[in-house]
Structure 1
Amino acid sequence: MRKLVKSLLVLLLVGLLVAGCGGATKKKIVVGLDDNFPPMGFRDDKNNIVGFDVDMAKEAAKRLGMEVEFKPIDWNSKEAELNGKRVDVLWNGLTITEKRKENIAFTKPYMENRQIIVVNANSPIKSKADLAGKVVGVQDGSSSVEAVEKDAAALKSFKELKKYPDNVAALMDLKAGRLDAVVVDEIVGRYYIAKKPGEYAILADNFGSEEYGVGLRKDDKELLDKLQKVLDEMKKDGTAAKISKQWFGADIVK
């Protein structure tokens, strides 16, 4: 009898050790984001991280039965943060590009966006061609950089393509006259412009359209499949549309 009890205790201990060493299901998802990217993810007046993507991630995590942690990162090093396993997903207006697909797995697109050109309201710049000889600002590490660099002729005509840590700094320099224009995600640009009526203008020309997706590690297929399933459910039952209307006044979910 003693031998039987001992054997059962050993088996129980082994089982507990296996569970503690990774046999247990993942209980928390860490979301990497740029916390200065309104309205997708940013800090409010009380320093809380809020935004459209934040609300989407919270709802998705709840449906997955997981806790969610929002971790501000250097957006220019986002792929290193993800593949270094310091975050589990990149969810903050992340544009799906062929280049990024080489290192990141994406959900299906959930939103479409354009790369718009913002100038001061009294600017003589009226088209992309007018940017020749001008200083243009972009957020470093953003898809705006890729969009501009893709248009080789326009890029070559610039006096300088100046990179900033975030869009807020770029728009402040535009207002101060240190920049002639800023290329920025439409969603972000329109959010800022709406808060400062009469200060900025958006040109009819742009640097192309793009799609947003959630980025995961390529070997995280199980999480990708589960996340895609709940995102599909959120779209189908109207939850995604409700969150979109709260932030944009309309359902702009793809």
Structure 2
Amino acid sequence: MSKKIIMILMLTMLVGFSAEAGMQVNSDGKPVVSVASDCTWPPMEFINKDKQIVGFSVDLMKAAAEAGGYVVEIKNVAWDGIFAGLASGKYDCICSSVTINKQRKKGMDFSDPYFEVQQSVVTNKDSNAKTLADFKGKKLGAQIGTTGYFAVKKTDGVVAKSYDEVGLAMEDLYNGRISAVVCDDPIAADFALQQEEYAKRLKIAFVVKSDTPEYLGVAVQKGNKEVVDLINKGLAAAVKNGSYDKIKAKWFGSN
């Protein structure tokens, strides 16, 4: 976690919070926040072998809720409709490796950032590519509507292939149907370095250069300050009580 994120979340602890009328509460009187997550991004959010929703962000949202005095209900929602569902009020927020950017901020609000990422390029181990431009004339895959897909789309000379799930793109790469996959670095590391079958053939070739850092945040319906304040309060509390560092170490190691 970058020092900048820690400072933002800790400063949030200095801001008072008062619940507004309208927030749903459980039998114990605690506010209930419904969370949508596209659970296809290990180790951030995914379905394990026991059909449970797990991952770094899942643990973080639960820890933030406990520390902040509210409850979260996390549901698996497909990426292609996840933002429309937020806009229509089907759930209170999205925690699904969503990058905070100017375009998205026009249509939704965000919590304070909770994780810094880069866009990594996964290729076959025999590839010598060092930039996206080195794939001129070849197909590159990414999950549609993600930062990785936007990076591919704006690269001249390459063919962008979109997928509903990043795992499908990795499968096509493994089977030789495309030349590379672009996605967040934690997801790239999980598929290319930690999944035994893929690790034999794939590697992280390089990181896409960017002039600005990329942060993940919890997306909230535009104007819903109540939920934003509640989540920020919980995230800051999870940092202060040490839960954040423990969860990060669990999923990414202590380095």
- TM-score, normalised to structure 1, is 0.82
Cα deviation code 1:8-63 (max 9, x no counterpart)? xxxxxxxxxxxxx9586573211101111111111111101100110011112223
SS at match of 1:108: coil
| Residue aligning to 1:142 | 146
Separation (CA, whole Å) in 2 of partners of 1:227 and 1:119 = 37
Cα distance change on mapping 1:174 and 1:66 into 2, 3 Å: same
Q: Which runs of 5+ in 1 are unaligned?
A: 1-20
Separation (CA, whole Å) in 2 of partners of 1:38 and 1:23 = 31
Cα distance change on mapping 1:101 and 1:121 into 2, 3 Å: same
The structure that has the greater radius of gyration is: 1
**Alignment map for 1:104-253 (pairs within 5 Å):** 104-149=108-153, 152=154, 154=155, 156-158=156-158, 160-195=159-194, 196=196, 197-208=199-210, 209-250=213-254
Of the candidates 46, 54, 62, which is equivalent to residue 50 of structure 2? 46
Aligned-residue offset at 1:230: 1.9
Separation (CA, whole Å) in 2 of partners of 1:240 and 1:181 = 32
Cα deviation code 1:228-252 (max 9, x no counterpart)? 122112112211011100000036x
Amino acid at match of 1:198: K
Aligned-residue offset at 1:207: 4.8
Q: Which runs of 5+ in 2 are unaligned?
A: 1-20
Overall identity of the aligned pairs, in %: 33
Partners of 1:71 and 1:87 within 8 A in 2: no
Partners of 1:76 and 1:142 within 8 A in 2: no
Separation (CA, whole Å) in 2 of partners of 1:105 and 1:175 = 37
Cα deviation code 1:87-144 (max 9, x no counterpart)? 1111121110110000111111111111111101122434333111110001012221
Separation (CA, whole Å) in 2 of partners of 1:22 and 1:236 = 28
- Pick 1 or 2: higher relative contact order, CA cutoff 8 A, min separation 6: 2
Runs of 4+ in 1 over 6 A off after TM superposition: none
Amino acid at match of 1:51: G
Aligned residues: 226
